């Protein structure tokens, strides 16, 4: 079996793809990758070593004024399909669902602007996003299958865009990161994510750090694509910038607590990686994170700075409690493996191929 996988090279979708591709290759699936949104970094190329990769800087549907690029991208992708002759298309961008592929196509819903906007702003998305809505809706309705990374995300694409429920599946993300066994935890809080993304709610950690005598370290990109830095230099947390994966892993293995007080997080690969490294998890109390982590984390209302401060302070002061919570998170994380993810996708590929392009309505 041969799959063409499209990937966004800008965000966490790439990490998901890299892990999935490793798992698929172990399951006997040959993979070709088409990257959009920017050229691959040296580290990204290394992660895809041995895989045929096509690169472009063509913009994706969530980026500013992408429409000419999307038209060009359709021709570019169809040319790749003609060359590589895949049995199935695994698209990680919604617009790909509406491309006139010869092979059956599935579209993965990692997140979307409309569900993000409602979670962050609590109101309707501006009319300026109407064309985006139309592209996403068409992609989901035209695809042979849609995959959501959580039940919460499945509900979102069904309720907002009318994605056909009979052709929608939930496949949780997985990680190939090994479980960390050592006990060398230190009393600090770690967070990781795009500081400019309001959904991550990392400003709540800044406010918590102002009122608590605990170190809070935040790794991630502070500058939005094409924008200004998201945070001032005099922030109360220690901003580390975008770290290489090995450096971030070293920090996770030392951190007693990993905090993600998110307003919106359809899955959260950074949280999964922290759990693998036995961090105690303090998460935003939202349906997707409750779904994924159950009783293996502590939850805080994203608007409740006082409770967030108290929870972090208590865990840092009580090393045995933090260690117990971290061990529980690590045990729970085992269900989100690359093997399970890859096998679920391979089975869905086969179902699409056998049904000649679309699951039964």
- Domain identity same for 191 and 240: yes
Domain presence at residue 43: yes
Looking at residue 234, its pLDDT comes to: 47
- When mean pLDDT is compared across 8-12, 120-124, 263-267, 355-359, the lowest value belongs to 355-359
pTM metric for this prediction: 0.91
Q: What is the count of structural domains for the chain?
A: 2
List the structure tokens of 128: 């300026």
Per the CB < 8 A criterion, the answer to whether 98 and 146 are in contact is no
Closest by Cα among 315, 164, 208 to 218: 208
Domain presence at residue 317: yes
Domain presence at residue 167: yes
- Domain identity same for 87 and 45: yes
- Domain identity same for 128 and 38: yes
Domain presence at residue 180: no
Find the CATH number of the domain harbouring 122: 3.40.50.2000
- When mean pLDDT is compared across 39-43, 217-221, 230-234, 250-254, the lowest value belongs to 230-234
Closest by Cα among 68, 199, 52 to 121: 199
Give tens-digit pLDDT for 256-271: 999 999 999 999 999 9
- E strand or H helix that includes residue 108: strand 105-109
What is the residue range of 302's domain? 186-333
List the structure tokens of 212: 């608590």
Query: Can you tell me the distance from the alpha carbon of 335 to that of 339, in angstroms, rounded to the nearest whole number?
Result: 10
Helix, strand, coil percentages in the chain from 3-state DSSP, rounded to 5: 45, 20, 35
List the structure tokens of 270: 């950074």
Query: Can you tell me the distance from the alpha carbon of 179 to that of 334, in angstroms, rounded to the nearest whole number?
Result: 8
Give backbone dihedrals phi and psi of 49, rounded to 5 degrees, phi first.
Answer: -55, 135
Per the CB < 8 A criterion, the answer to whether 265 and 156 are in contact is no
- Domain identity same for 141 and 252: no
- Domain identity same for 209 and 246: yes
Q: Kindly indicate the confidence band of residue 47, based on its pLDDT and cuts at 50, 70 and 90.
A: confident
Across-strand partners of 175? 337
């Amino acid at each position: 079996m041969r799959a063409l996988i499209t990937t966004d090279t800008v965000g966490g979708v790439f990490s998901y793809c890299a892990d999935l591709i490793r798992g698929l290759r172990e399951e006997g699936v040959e993979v070709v990758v088409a990257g959009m949104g920017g050229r691959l970094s040296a580290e990204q190329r290394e992660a895809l070593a041995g895989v045929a990769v096509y690169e472009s800087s063509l913009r994706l549907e969530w980026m500013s004024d992408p429409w000419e690029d999307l038209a060009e991208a359709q021709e570019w992708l169809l040319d790749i399909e003609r060359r590589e002759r895949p049995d199935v298309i695994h698209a990680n961008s919604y617009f790909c669902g509406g491309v006139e592929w010869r092979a059956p196509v599935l579209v993965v819903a990692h997140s979307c602007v409309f569900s993000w906007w409602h979670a962050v702003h609590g109101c309707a998305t501006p009319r300026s996003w109407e064309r985006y809505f139309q592209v996403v809706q068409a992609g989901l309705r035209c695809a042979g299958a849609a995959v959501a990374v959580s039940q919460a995300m499945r509900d979102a694409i069904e309720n907002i865009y009318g994605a056909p429920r009979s052709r929608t599946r939930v496949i949780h993300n997985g990680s190939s990161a090994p479980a960390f066994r050592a006990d060398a935890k230190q009393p600090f809080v770690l967070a990781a994510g795009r500081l400019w993304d309001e959904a991550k709610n990392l400003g709540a950690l800044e406010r918590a750090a102002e009122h608590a005598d605990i170190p809070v370290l935040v790794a991630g990109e502070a500058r939005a694509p094409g924008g200004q830095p998201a945070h001032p230099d005099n922030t109360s947390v220690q901003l580390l910038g975008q770290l290489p994966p090995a450096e971030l892993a070293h920090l996770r293995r030392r951190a007693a607590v990993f905090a993600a007080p998110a307003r919106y997080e359809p899955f959260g690969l950074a949280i999964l990686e922290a759990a693998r490294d036995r961090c105690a998890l303090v998460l935003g109390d939202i349906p997707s994170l409750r779904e994924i982590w159950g009783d293996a984390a502590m939850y805080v209302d994203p608007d409740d700075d006082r409770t967030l401060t108290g929870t972090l302070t208590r865990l840092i002061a009580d090393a045995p409690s933090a260690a117990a919570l971290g061990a529980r998170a690590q045990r729970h994380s085992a269900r989100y493996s690359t093997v399970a993810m890859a096998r679920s996708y391979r089975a869905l590929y086969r179902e699409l191929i056998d049904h000649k392009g679309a699951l039964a309505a």
